[in-house]
């Protein structure tokens, strides 16, 4: 059975994004990547990763002195949680309204729209 995880906070999601895109990393590397977008102390990232490990959001390999962290869940899994959560809390379960909100928030490109159509096709065929 898949364990229940808390919704990641803003700072945590930022770190998860790094881990998803770059694979298992040391604290140092995560810190370097995060620093490109936001000045942060090394120990801040360390502390966050430790807390995230406690929560179960990440796992770590302690075999080396510099521990290696990786996301406990794939990006798609967490995205599904977050989308479902917002869908429920702010859109009363209406996926079309959520999509409308997203589209009007940032104008989607033509490619994005065709991608969405393609996705709908696939979704309708796959899951009944």
25 counts as binding DNA under rule CB under 7 A: no
Q: Which of 5, 17, 24, 26 binds DNA (CB under 7 A)?
A: 26
Q: Choose the one of DNA, a copy of itself, none that binds residue 28, judging by a C-beta under 5 to 8 angstroms depending on kind.
A: DNA
Q: Choose the one of DNA, a copy of itself, none that binds residue 5, judging by a C-beta under 5 to 8 angstroms depending on kind.
A: none
* Three state DSSP letters for the chain: CCCCCCCCCHHHHHHHHHHHHHCCEEHHHHHHHHHCCCCCCHHHHHHHHHHHHHHCCEEEECCCCCCEEEECCCHHHHHHHHHHHHHHHHHCCCHHHHHHHHHHHCCCCHHHHHHHHHHHHHHHHCCC
87 counts as binding DNA under rule CB under 7 A: no
1 counts as binding a copy of itself under rule CB under 8 A: no
């Amino acid at each position: 059975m898949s364990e229940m995880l808390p919704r990641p906070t803003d700072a945590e999601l930022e770190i998860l994004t790094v881990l998803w895109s770059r694979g298992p990393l040391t604290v140092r590397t995560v810190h370097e990547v995060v620093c490109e977008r936001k000045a942060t102390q090394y120990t801040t990232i360390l502390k966050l990763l430790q807390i995230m490990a406690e929560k179960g959001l990440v796992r770590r390999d302690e075999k080396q002195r510099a521990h290696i962290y990786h996301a406990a869940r794939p990006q798609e899994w967490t995205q599904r949680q977050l989308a479902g959560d917002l869908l429920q809390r702010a859109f009363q379960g209406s996926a079309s309204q959520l999509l409308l909100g997203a589209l009007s928030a940032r104008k989607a490109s033509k490619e994005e729209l065709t991608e969405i159509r393609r996705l709908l096709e696939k979704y309708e065929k796959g899951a009944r």
